Amino acid sequence: MFRILILSNGHGEDLSGSLIAKQFVKSGYSVHALPIVGMGNHYEKEKIKIIGKTKEFRTGGIGYNSFKGRLNEILGGEIFYLLKRLYLTFKIRKKYDYFFVVGDIVPVFFAWVCKKDFFTYLVAYSSHYEGKLKLPWPSKFFLLSQKAKKIYTRDSLTANDLTLQLKKKVSFLGNPFMDKFFPRDKELNKDEFSIGLFPGSRFPEILDNFVLILEVLEALSDLRYFQKIQFNYAIVNALSSSKIKEIFQKKRMVKNRKYKR
């Protein structure tokens, strides 16, 4: 069977990567994981071997668009850590038949530098944000490489958009990240209307997103049909329950609403 190395770049990407790795193992493949940032906890839960020593950073991933995010990466030592991970990936590349890239331009760049045949799941991008996806430079160059054997996206709109842009078949086969939530449906009270809250997975944006979500809910709280709603929010472990309670207290949310992590 083929030997596969999964490359991913942060919390959400690691979760998707671990679920994909789990299915590969069930199919009989030999699978290892190299999380570019973070501890790789999702891989550990699925008993996928992690390559190299891992380290957690505050931002939770590499590749920010904001100046503040990039500054945090530099000051936190993430850039130097990234170069070490790149060197490790290059050094062990011959041990694997294929790389499976999960995330964004960072792991795609790793695979391209190593000149390995790779498959890509672009979980970090969606055309729903812009109508026409603007891939960061030079993603198109990497994805058009003959080494990029197959490209997958998290929704059909993005798959169709990139197929036209790249003039290369891009496929949508499902979203393993969202599959993780289906078993939890049994825990929900079917007699109540339920809304899921997804603020993200990286700091510091996750805090800003969470506050914005609460502000929207607060603005809607006086509406009659909002009186009996159960909110379920999906968050990363780094956003502690105590921090969330502090945010709730500051926002002074209505007492008779129920929030479930």
DSSP assignment string, 85-116: HHHHHHHHGGG-SEEEEESSHHHHHHHHHHT-
Work out whether the CA dihedral 127, 130, 133, 137 comes out positive or negative.
Answer: negative
How sure is the predictor about 1, in pLDDT bands with cuts at 50, 70 and 90? confident
Decide: 234 and 181 in contact? Cβ < 8 Å: yes
Per DSSP, the three-state class of 52 is coil
Q: In whole angstroms, what is the distance from residue 16 CA to residue 201 CA? A: 13
Q: Could you tell me the domains of the chain? A: 3-179 (3.40.50.2000), 182-260 (no CATH)
> Higher confidence at residue 252 or residue 162?
162
Longest dimension (CA), the chain: 62
- Please count the helices (runs of H) and the strands (runs of E) in the chain: 10, 10
pLDDT, tens digit, 9 for 90 and up, residues 215-233: 888 887 777 767 677 777 7
Work out whether the CA dihedral 123, 127, 130, 133 comes out positive or negative.
Answer: positive
* The pLDDT value given to residue 254: 42
How sure is the predictor about 251, in pLDDT bands with cuts at 50, 70 and 90? low
Work out whether the CA dihedral 3, 177, 188, 254 comes out positive or negative.
Answer: positive
Structure tokens given for 84:
């070490």
Residue with tokens 């958009």: 161
pLDDT, tens digit, 9 for 90 and up, residues 154-163: 999 999 999 9
- Secondary structure E strands in the chain: 3-8, 30-35, 49-50, 98-102, 118-122, 148-153, 170-171, 193-197, 229-233, 258-260
Residue 66 has pLDDT above 60, yes or no: no
> What is the DSSP code (8-state) at residue 224?
G
Question: Looking at the whole model, is its pTM more than 0.75?
Answer: no
Closest CA to 122 of 239, 18, 13, 230: 13
